[in-house]
């Protein structure tokens, strides 16, 4: 990573934050990377080792769907990055290799509109802070220059996440949570966490098993994970240890 490249990229991130009207954040690094690397969209998660993480930023509806698909299915490039710590470059999700690696995600991602997905670790040394993900509608690899830029954007996002460069009230970034995270994404993750906690009581199990059941119900019924979580939190849906849900409205 050259100093000139790092300086150029930091400038792009700072410009993005200025347009948003807030302090520079990791979310700005994600948004700026999409334009500079010439991909269709991107997402950023904050996570510890091997976890799907909290979705901090999405640049479009497909990016959000790709991030949620990985959370629901328990597989995909972002999870591989979190688990193993290296970049994952899937330049064609239609290949047999992609299908073998992510049998659920590769097909679902293509249906969502992604032809290629690239994911980069947010890490410094042994500290893993999350994942920067990007997608293109059409298959095709990143050029060497684009790959170099993507890696520097990931480094920049890491420093911003770990350095606590968050928006605060009065920064002018209305509707954002810490780190520049849109309030809607923060609420959605909070609902998923709350629903998982409620399932530990309903199912008499631990957090990990409760989350697996939540994901399985969403996947098996072709529903979005956030929608299922919202129904559980609102007590419109209840899961039982033996199998299925109760009728609507039953707590």
Residue-wise pLDDT for 54-66, tens only, equals: 788 899 999 999 9
Predicted confidence band at 111 (pLDDT cuts at 50, 70, 90)? very high
Nearest to 70 by CA among 101, 110, 105, 24: 105
More confident residue, 26 or 162: 26
What's the CATH class of domain 182-233?
mainly alpha
CA atoms of 121 and 140, how far apart (whole Å): 21
Task: Give pLDDT, residue 99.
Answer: 96
Predicted confidence band at 242 (pLDDT cuts at 50, 70, 90)? low
Q: Looking at domain 3-168, does it have CATH number 3.20.10.10? A: no
**Residue range 202-222: mean pLDDT, rounded:** 82
Q: 3-class SS at 11?
A: helix
**Residue range 158-176: mean pLDDT, rounded:** 56
Nearest to 95 by CA among 60, 139, 64, 49: 139
**Residue range 212-224: mean pLDDT, rounded:** 81
Q: Per-domain residue ranges for the chain?
A: 3-168, 182-233
Task: Give pLDDT, residue 54.
Answer: 77
Task: Give pLDDT, residue 101.
Answer: 97
Tell me the percentage of the chain whose pLDDT exceeds 70. 82
Nearest to 73 by CA among 208, 189, 218: 218
**Residue range 66-81: mean pLDDT, rounded:** 92
Task: Give pLDDT, residue 174.
Answer: 42
Predicted confidence band at 48 (pLDDT cuts at 50, 70, 90)? low
**Residue range 127-136: mean pLDDT, rounded:** 92
Predicted confidence band at 192 (pLDDT cuts at 50, 70, 90)? confident
Task: Give pLDDT, residue 60.
Answer: 95
| Cβ–Cβ < 8 Å for 70, 101 | no
Task: Give pLDDT, residue 173.
Answer: 43
| Cβ–Cβ < 8 Å for 65, 32 | no
CA atoms of 236 and 43, how far apart (whole Å): 30
């Amino acid at each position: 990573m050259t100093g000139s490249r790092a300086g150029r990229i930091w400038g792009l991130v700072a410009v993005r934050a200025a347009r948003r009207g807030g302090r520079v954040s990791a979310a700005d690094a994600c948004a700026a990377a999409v334009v500079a690397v010439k991909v269709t969209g991107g997402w950023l998660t904050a996570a510890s080792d091997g976890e799907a993480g909290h979705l901090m930023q999405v640049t479009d509806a497909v990016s959000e769907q790709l991030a949620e698909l990985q959370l629901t299915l328990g597989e995909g490039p972002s999870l591989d990055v979190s688990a193993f710590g290296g970049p994952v470059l899937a330049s064609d999700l239609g290949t047999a290799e992609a299908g073998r690696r992510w049998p659920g995600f590769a097909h679902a991602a293509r249906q969502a509109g992604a032809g290629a997905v690239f994911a980069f670790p947010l890490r410094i040394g042994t500290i893993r802070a999350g994942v920067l993900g990007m997608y293109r509608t059409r298959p095709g690899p990143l050029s060497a220059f684009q790959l170099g830029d993507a890696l520097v954007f990931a480094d920049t996002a890491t420093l911003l996440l770990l350095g606590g460069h968050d928006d605060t009230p009065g920064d002018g970034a209305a509707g954002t949570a810490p780190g520049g995270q849109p309030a809607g994404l923060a609420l959605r993750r909070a609902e998923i966490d709350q629903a998982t906690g409620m399932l530990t009581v309903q199912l008499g199990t631990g957090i990990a098993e409760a989350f697996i059941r939540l994901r399985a119900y969403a996947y098996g019924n072709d529903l979005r994970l956030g929608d299922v979580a919202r129904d559980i939190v609102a007590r419109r849906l209840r899961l039982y240890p033996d199998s299925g849900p109760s009728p609507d409205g039953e707590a």
